[in-house]
Amino acid sequence: MSADPTQTLAFDSSCHLFNGCGFDTVAPGLHSFLFKPLWGDADSNVYFNKTMLLALLGSIIVVGFFWAAFAKPKVVPGKLQLVAESGYDFIRRGVVYETIGKKEGEKYVPLVVSLFFFVWMMNLWSIIPVAQFPVTAIISYPAVLAGIVYILWVSLTFKRHGFVGAFKNFTGYDKSLGGVLPLSMTIELFSNLLVRPFTHAVRLFANMFAGHTLLVLFTVASWYMLNGIGIAYSGVSFVMVIIMTAFELFIQAVQAYVFVLLTCSFIQGALAEHH
């Protein structure tokens, strides 16, 4: 993880415990999420950096995988086709059908499957050598994906219910609430149109940000304490790296699953009749 040395201290590989080097010179921080442009100039805001490259490669990998799996489908699937079919069917039946329903949900299966595997791939970069960074730990990526879902959800709501129906859907209009109805509608409108897309993006971002920070912390600490009597502490820290990596593998898949589950929940809410 090479942070921009013009904005932060570079990692000093000679820095160890007990040799007079403070941990503050190698400790991870926000600089662990900043990268030098691979092309262009950061000052001009027109550049191409590591996270953009990983996002592009991730897209190519996902598209290439499904292209290779289904380019020449067979009645008796080979290993690659079987894996792709299993993943596709898991999202279709376990997420889309269960949340939206088979009849209404079928048309949204390609979108949800694409979102799941794209988000999962962006998360997986965190534990892949050389890459070693989850793209979704940069808030702009989850924000764009959540924005796409938000636009779909709002447009579907207006298309299905019209302006008045959509307004009731967004505000949770229920005349039986009586005097508290205006307050309830205000809270619901704020929650649905502002808080909902924000939490959709931040939930994914925050988990990947925190997980990457912990991995970097234990990795750097393993090297920093690899000196003198600190070797024992270094060993413990290295064990934590292994444990955290295994845990991250689980969290990466779960967060991709949660992201598409919420997506389906929003779509289902847009399509459901307001009572």
pLDDT tens figures, 162-215: 999 888 888 888 887 788 888 988 998 999 899 999 999 999 999 999 999 999
pLDDT at 37: 83
CB 222 within 8 A of CB 11: no
Highest mean pLDDT among 11-20, 45-54, 70-79, 150-159: 150-159
Helix, strand, coil distribution of the chain in percent, nearest 5 = 75, 0, 25
To which residue do tokens 């662990």 refer?
Answer: 32
Residue 10: pLDDT band (50, 70, 90) is: very low
3-state secondary structure of 149: helix
Query: Would you state the pLDDT for residue 25?
Result: 59
| Within a domain: 228 | yes
pLDDT score recorded for residue 143: 96
Q: Does residue 68 register a pLDDT over 90?
A: yes
pLDDT tens string 13-26: 566 666 666 555 56
Domain of residue 96 covers 75-271
Q: What's the pLDDT at 22?
A: 58
Percent of the chain whose predicted confidence (pLDDT) is above 90: 56
pLDDT tier, 5 (very low <50, low <70, confident <90, very high otherwise):
very low
Q: Phi-psi category of 132—alpha, beta or left, where left has phi over 0 and alpha has psi -120 to 50?
A: left
| Alpha carbon distances (Å) from 237 to 66, 97, 223 | 38, 43, 9
Number of domains forming the structure of the chain:
1
Task: Provide the pLDDT for residue 274.
Answer: 60
pLDDT of residue 23: 59
Report pTM: 0.86
The answer, yes or no, to whether residue 82 has pLDDT greater than 70, is yes
Q: Is residue 84 a part of any domain in this protein?
A: yes
Contact 259/145 with Cβ under 8 angstroms? yes
Residue 46 pLDDT grade (very low, low, confident, very high; cuts 50, 70, 90):
confident
Four-point Cα dihedral 92, 96, 100, 103, nearest 10:
-10
Look at residue 7 and tell me if it is in a domain.
no
Q: Is 10 a member of any domain?
A: no
Residue 272 CB burial class (10 angstroms; 0-12, 13-18, ≥19): middle
The answer to whether position 87 is within a domain reads: yes
| Residue 112, domain member (yes or no) | yes
What 3-state DSSP class applies to 29?
Answer: coil
40 assigned to some structural domain: no
Q: Is 218 helix (H, G, I), strand (E, B) or coil?
A: helix
**142 pLDDT above the threshold of 60:** yes
> pLDDT tens-digit profile of 84-110?
999 999 999 999 999 999 989 999 999
Closest-CA residue to 262 (of 102, 139, 153, 160): 153
* Pairwise CA distance, residues 270 & 233, whole Å: 53
Residue 131 CB partners (closer than 8 Å, separation 6+): 54, 125
Average the pLDDT over 245-257 and give the result: 95
The answer to the question of residue 55 being in a domain is no
